[in-house]
Amino acid sequence: MQPILYIVIPCYNEQEVLPITAPMFLQKINDLYIDGKISEHSRILFINDGSRDKTWDIITELSSLDEHYCGISLSRNRGHQNALLAGLMEAKDKCDMCVSVDCDGQDDIDAIDKMVDEYLSGSEIVYGVRSDRKTDTAFKRGTAQFFYKMMRGMGVDMIYNHADYRLMSRRALEGLSQFKEVNLFLRGLVPMVGYKYSCVEYSRKERMAGKSKYPLKKMISFAINGITSLSVKPIRLITAFGFIVSALSVIGIIWSVITAIIGSGVAGWASTVSIICFLGGVQLLSLGVIGEYVGKIYLEVKGRPRYIIDKKTDEIK
């Protein structure tokens, strides 16, 4: 019996690109089946992340055309990470392995062959790693590179240049399902699941159609979420910084006492003001960072659902 593969694809307002890429995924499933690597019960699972265009109509139409297509629709837009999790959890009880991939064709679909080979030779998780980023803008490349390095510096175990293009076995998915956090950052969580893993290189292409759903604002909040949900280093840095500033102020106090004793007048207004301003700034910044964590705790404590499924195509019910 060959293993069942599910290709899990989150889609948000992707009516332009879906009709182009969906047949490519189907072709991939067919090829792998003909090669005898996967079962005929393998599926392509779309997650409609509350799209406002015709994405869901396209998904239901696809599923009526070919039984290998199926889909679930979330009750509203919950963001890429939650949509992806919804798909992974849906696939968990139905597949032996699943590959998560974007629907815009940017990630080279042919890397799935290599991922499946790695799975067949014993890997529980196979990370897709970008071998080059030639097609990204210099800005996106630079910020992304900086982000990976910073995450490393913060002590977060992340695979360099790996986005959410990866294969996970059923066991790995079950491991992932035990992580209950609401502030999701999958590429930091999956390495925590553990198990034997390997990497597969692929080259990142241009989006085949439509626009990126990750503008700079979303990228920044994604990065901040990544850091604060996986690392407490910023809080430690504040402590260290506070310690240094306190040590310096002891020197300042000694200095001011000495000048007072020597009696060198009311000079020093400038230094007083600058110290007050500096400390005010540091304190506000520190409060902001701590507030970020308190906010996270607030959301985690409430334990709201990470996604709610509204509809499913017939195939998957």
Angle in degrees, CA 199, 201, 203, rounded to 5: 150
Query: Of 58 and 238, which CB lies nearer to ligand UDP in the complex structure?
Result: 58
Among Mg ion, ligand UDP, none, partner that 77 touches (CB below 5 to 8 angstroms by kind): ligand UDP
Query: Of 100 and 123, which CB lies nearer to ligand UDP in the complex structure?
Result: 100
Angle separating helix axes 216-230 and 233-262, nearest 10 degrees: 90
Contact 1, 77 (CB under 8 A): no
10 in contact with ligand UDP (CB under 6 A): yes
Size of the site for ligand UDP (CB under 6 A): 16
Pairing of strands 197-203, 125-132: parallel
DSSP string, 227-294: HHHH--HHHHHHHHHHHHHHHHHHHHHHHHHHHHHHT-TT--HHHHHHHHHHHHHHHHHHHHHHHHHH
128 in contact with ligand UDP (CB under 6 A): no
Least CB distance to ligand UDP at residue 57 (A)? 15
What are the φ/ψ torsions at residue 295 (nearest 5 degrees)?
A: -60, -40
Q: For residue 66, which of 88, 44, 34 has the smallest C-alpha distance?
A: 44
Positions in the binding site for Mg ion (CB under 5 A): 102, 104, 106
Query: Of 48 and 228, which CB lies nearer to ligand UDP in the complex structure?
Result: 48
Least CB distance to ligand UDP at residue 211 (A)? 7
Distance CA 87, CA 103 (A): 13
Least CB distance to ligand UDP at residue 126 (A)? 19
Q: Which amino acid is at 201?
A: E
DSSP state, residue 313: -
Ranges within 29-58 binding ligand UDP (CB under 6 A): 49
Out of 90, 104, 108, 124, point to the residue binding ligand UDP (CB under 6 A).
104
Query: Of 107 and 118, which CB lies nearer to ligand UDP in the complex structure?
Result: 107
Out of 92, 205, 213, 311, point to the residue binding ligand UDP (CB under 6 A).
213
Query: Of 80 and 114, which CB lies nearer to ligand UDP in the complex structure?
Result: 80
Least CB distance to ligand UDP at residue 12 (A)? 3
Site residues (vs ligand UDP, CB under 6 A) = 10-12, 14, 49, 77, 79-80, 83, 102-104, 106, 212-214
